[in-house]
Structure formats: C-alpha cells, structure tokens
Amino acid sequence: MYYKDVPLFKAQGTVDRLVDDLAVTLDLERADLKIRAASKGLICGTGLTIHLLEGEVISINDLEGTLIPTGETIERFELKEDISWVLVVEKEAVFQTLCRFQFASHQSLPGPGLIITGKGYPDVATRQLVKTLSDNLPAHIPIVALVDGDAYGLDILSVYKYGSRSLRHENEKLAAKRIEWLGIWASEIADLEIDLDTLIPITLHDEKKALAVLSRATDVVPTKWRQV
C-alpha cells in the first residue's frame, strides 16, 4: 500500500498507523481488512514444524533462520516434546550469531530449544508465534527474552508480554504473558566488566523515550523493570 503513493504516505510507519487506527475504529482485526504486512521475524532451532494452509510444511532447523509466516497462512503448529526452552532476542545480529554456533542444540544446555527474533519491534506474525508457544508449551519450559537494558529494550519486551498500544484491540490474542526478561539489565554492566567508553552516549531522543516508557502504568511496565 505504501508504494502505491510514496509521496502521500512518506513512510511505511504512516501506513501502519492508519491501518491500525482504521481497524480499531471499525472494531476489526488487521486480517479482516485483507491487509497483511510482509513477515520479517526469524526462528531457528529444533522441535517445531509449521503446516501451512496451502499444504507446505516448514521444518525449523538450528543452522539458519527461517522466516516466520503470517498467521493467516498457517494451518497448525506441530511441537515436539523435547523442546526445553524458548529464547526471544531483540537484535537480528545476535540471533544470527547464535544460529551460526548452533546454540539451539548446544550440549551445555539442558536440552534443545528455539530462538526467535522480531528484528527489533516484532511484527504481528512473530508475536502470534510467541503467543502460541506461550499458550501451548508446558508451564515448566521457560520462555525468556534477551533485550537491551534501555528504554527501547523495555518497550520491545512490553510489546511481547503485554501487547502494543497501536493494536490494543488485539492484545488478548497477541500478548505472551509467560515471557520473562532474561537480560541485559543495566545493573549487570558493571558485573560484566563492560568498558564504559564503548557504550553509546544517551541522546535527547533516548531521554524522551525513557521518560515516555516510565510514564506508563505498572501493568505494562512493571516496577521491577524500572529498577534495573
């Protein structure tokens, strides 16, 4: 839709907001409007097979990332009993590194798992997958997130766990309540002996983002997250 009139919309985000606002106004989901964003999230690991409505079967592997298909194209997920954990990472670079070293099946871990990234703020397809895993995996299997210990990382984690403001009418179907914050916590920087000179200075935009995140209710930004 964006490329049909670039001068008018100016940015993809403008189209996204307009579509979301229209869906909220009409009390519909995006899918009901027959408007679907291209997938961007990736997954690697073992123990998950995705069956599509058209008959295609996608088997996830631990060597490389597989594009997460949109929910409207999925017939069902097939989970194996040997999945031991699920790790959601913010950065694609971190995801690719973990896949390259076959971290999902590393012998030092208690068992095989799944690694997922939304490449920053997750799209609906990625959130739907994490929600499905949260609802269907046994309670003892941890689902954890590795995000930056800054306002953007907290915001991304909040989208996974509690939902987004733009799609608040769909949050019940997208929020993965079980996901927990593994790190990185700002308080861990000293313990990890990270050279402070290598850190990127905080900008005015960063400060505004932090204040905006902290101004939200504790049911979407818990007190514990604020004390890191």
Q: Is 160 a catalytic residue?
A: no
List all residues 6 or more positions away from 203 whose beta carbon is below 8 Å from its beta carbon: none
Q: Radius of gyration (Cα) for the chain, nearest Å?
A: 18
User: Tokens representing 25?
Assistant: 């106004």
- State the Cα–Cα distance between residues 79 and 138, nearest whole angstrom: 11
Closest of 160, 143, 142 to residue 221, by C-alpha: 160
For the record, the structure tokens of 6 come out as 């670039």
Number of H helices, E strands in the chain: 8, 9
d(CA 95, CA 90): 8
Surface-to-core class of residue 169, CB atoms within 10 Å of its CB (0-12 exposed, 13-18 middle, 19+ buried) = middle
Question: Catalytic one among 2, 3, 121, 162?
Answer: 3
Q: Which residues share a beta bridge with 76?
A: 51
Beta bridge partners of 183: 146
Catalytic residues: 3
